Structure 1
Amino acid sequence: MTLLILGLLIFLGAHSVRIVAEPWRAAQIARIGPTSWKGLYALASAVGLALIVWGYGLAHGHPAALWTPPIWARHLADLLTALAFVLIAAAYIPSNHFKAVVGHPMLLGVQFWAVAHLLANGTLAAFVLFGAFLAWAVTDFASSRRRDRLAGTQYPAGTFTRDAVAVMVGLATWALFAFLLHGWLIGVRPFG
């Protein structure tokens, strides 16, 4: 569990600098340049992610059960993760209604993803992992929306064509992950 927590601190810590230390972040970017900042950010993210995967794998091998998820939780998790993948796709597809309305669909997608996995898993390691991501995504979403309001940020109006692209890309990616990659990479088959 120590490696999992350390990985979460590094990964989510790197992703939280803008939330808790925006002036410091701006000063560092000005001092070392945006390319060096992005390199350090990517390095910290990669190290944190590797520790999360390693730590969760170790903890998953010796699960400490907190609760037994009900059968319906798996079905709801499937629906929530599909929605999460659509929102995450919408973050990268310009001029869609998801981004126009929500502003930060990836952060909302991470929230749906985390809730889905909290519902479907009842172990301590899952609670720590997905609970940490949920807390971070809720905090970052609120912080990002506040920054948008203060800056007067307006996102371009969406089109239904771009919405359809976001939905198709999101659902196709979700299906690929749910039916093939999740079992291969994570060792758990959501549909089998």
Structure 2
Amino acid sequence: MTLLVLGIALWIGAHLLKRLAPDLRTSMGEKRGRGIIALVIFASLVMMVVGFRAAPHIDVWYPPSFFTHINNLLMLLAVFLFAISESKGALRAKIKHPQLYAVKTWAVAHLLVNGDLASIVLFGGMLFWAVMSVVLINRSGEFVPKEAGPAKRDIITVIATLVAFVVISAIHSWLGYSPFA
């Protein structure tokens, strides 16, 4: 569990460094700083995955089975929100912070269907990070919305969302976590 918590802390620290310690981030230099942050984020991901897989299974609560359906709908929404961030369609100008809202939706979806302590730590930690990021970005006033593109491009986003959802579901099944059971 220690490795999982350290991985989450490292993830949060690396992502919030620019907003909480801008002078430190600037002192690293643009190219060098991006490289260091990328390595730290990669290391935090490895720590979270290894820490999560190694954590003991300690049940905290027992989610009802129908939460699986809610989870799947929320996951479809999370994938769509993430896709919107790179979309060239009209919706991208209407949704502020789509990637962070995707992470929040993903985290809530997984908290609904996983009642063990490691899941609560992982998904709760990621939810905390996404909420903090939105608050800090909104307070800084640095958010600039993207310009809207043609609405017909949103159809491509919907198709990409469905394909990505199927791929993510297949990977979960391959890893032994059936998203539909």
Deviation, structure 1 residue 151:
4.3
Out of 119, 130, 133, the position equivalent to 1:126 is 119
Once the two structures are TM-superposed, the CA of residue 7 in structure 1 deviates from its matched residue by 0.9
| Structure 2 residue aligned with 1:113 | 106
Native 8 Å contact 2:68 2:180 kept in 1:
no
Q: Provide runs of 4+ in structure 1 moved above 6 Å.
A: none
Contact residue 103 and residue 145 of structure 1 kept, 8 A? no
TM alignment of 1:1-192, pairs within 5 A: 1-29=1-29, 34-59=30-55, 62-97=56-91, 99-147=92-140, 150-151=141-142, 153-178=144-169, 180-185=170-175, 187-192=176-181
Amino acid at match of 2:45: L
Assess if the C-alpha contact under 8 Å between 1:4 and 1:54 holds in 2: yes
Identity %: 36
CA 159–141 in structure 1, closer or farther in 2 if over 3 Å, else same = farther
SS in 2 for 1:54: helix
**In 1, Cα distance between equivalents of 2:157 and 2:172:** 21
TM-score between both structures, scaled by the size of structure 2: 0.92
> 1:157-185 CA deviation, whole Å, 9 max, x = no partner?
2431222222221221011111x111224
Asked whether the equivalents of residues 69 and 180 of structure 2 are also in contact (C-alpha less than 8 Å), the reply is no
Instruction: Rate the CA distance shift 1:151–1:122 in 2: closer, same or farther, 3 A.
Output: closer
Residues 90, 96 of structure 1: 8 Å contact kept: no
Question: Offset of 1:153 from its aligned partner?
Answer: 2.6
CA-to-aligned-CA distance 1:136-170 (integer Å, 9 cap, x gap) = 111112222333xx347342024312222222212
The answer to whether the 8 A contact 1:111-1:133 is kept is yes
Q: By how many angstroms is 1:104 displaced?
A: 1.4
CA contact (8 A) 1:96 1:163 kept: yes
* Contact in 2 for aligned 1:77/1:119 (Cα 8 Å): yes
Deviation string 1:24-62 (CA, Å, 9 cap, x unpaired) is: 323433xxxx22111111110111111100000011xx3
Q: Which runs of 5+ in 1 are unaligned?
A: none
Q: Output the amino acid matched with 1:119.
A: L
Q: Which runs of 5+ in 2 are unaligned?
A: none
- SS class of match (1:71): coil
SS at match of 1:15: helix
Amino acid paired to 1:90: I
> Aligned residue pairs: how many?
181
